[in-house]
């Protein structure tokens, strides 16, 4: 499926990708969950930033919070950018690092709960808008030159897809690590 361009596509893709991501995480072995991420050769900053499943989940959670706060503030007439001061689209990588630092003591289980809560809130908020409000440019001046729906897509289905790509790469790496393969084989023999 391509990038959603209607409300129904947005809600469907966001729900489906969230469930796929949850299933992927629940299918991970203890070894996969506890092995730190290692993506040699990957150039983008996020490949080095996120070191485990928790880091991915809190990243998604923080971006949900940005979206929720931004939309709610502007609905109340408070002019607010989606990115908090002093960040902008050229410097938001530093903001992501701050999110990462903020959650280094957050347990995986708590991260899962936090993300589940904000996912529900984002989906409920998206439901309150019409298709036109979500996917017609210029409906809300505070959105700028894009559509409100594009922000919802970026913070749900597209972001979940990004997370699943990282999780798949991690699982693949774990499968190539003889220590993890051996741990998985011995687990299978015991069952």
**Percentage of the chain modeled with pLDDT above 70:** 92
Q: Is the pLDDT of residue 36 over 80?
A: yes
Which residue in the block uniquely carries the two structure tokens 């996912």? 119
**Contact between residue 144 and residue 90 where contact means Cβ atoms under 8 Å apart:** no
Q: How confident is the model at residue 178 (pLDDT cuts 50, 70, 90)?
A: low
Give the Cα separation of 18 and 110 in Å (integer).
Answer: 17
Which residue in the block uniquely carries the two structure tokens 């990462």? 100
Query: What DSSP line would sit under 172-191, residue for residue?
Result: HHHHHSHHHHHHHHHHHHH-
Which residue in the block uniquely carries the two structure tokens 């749900």? 156
Average pLDDT of span 132-157: 97
Q: How far apart are the first and last CA of the chain?
A: 38
Q: How confident is the model at residue 175 (pLDDT cuts 50, 70, 90)?
A: confident
Average pLDDT of span 4-13: 98
Chain segment 61-71, per-residue pLDDT in tens: 999 999 999 99
Domains and CATH numbers, the chain: 7-190 (1.20.120.450)
SS3 25: helix
Q: What is the pLDDT of residue 93?
A: 96
pTM of the predicted model as reported, rounded to 2 decimal places: 0.91
SS3 87: coil
């Amino acid at each position: 499926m391509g990038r959603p361009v209607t409300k129904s596509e947005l809600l469907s893709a966001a729900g489906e990708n969230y469930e796929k991501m949850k299933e992927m995480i629940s299918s991970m072995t203890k070894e996969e969950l506890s092995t730190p991420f290692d993506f040699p050769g990957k150039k983008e900053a996020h490949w080095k930033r996120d070191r485990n499943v928790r880091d991915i989940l809190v990243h998604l959670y923080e971006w949900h919070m940005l979206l929720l706060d931004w939309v709610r503030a502007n609905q109340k007439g408070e002019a607010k950018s989606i990115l908090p001061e002093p960040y902008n689209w050229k410097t938001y990588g530093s903001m992501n690092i701050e999110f990462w630092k903020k959650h280094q003591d957050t347990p995986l289980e708590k991260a899962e709960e936090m993300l589940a809560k904000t996912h529900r809130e984002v989906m409920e908020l998206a439901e309150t808008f019409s298709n036109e409000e979500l996917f017609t440019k210029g409906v809300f001046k505070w959105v700028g030159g894009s559509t409100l729906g594009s922000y919802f897509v970026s913070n749900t289905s597209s972001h979940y897809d990004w997370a699943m790509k990282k999780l798949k790469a991690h699982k693949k790496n774990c499968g190539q690590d003889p220590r993890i393969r051996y741990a998985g084989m011995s687990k299978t023999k015991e069952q």
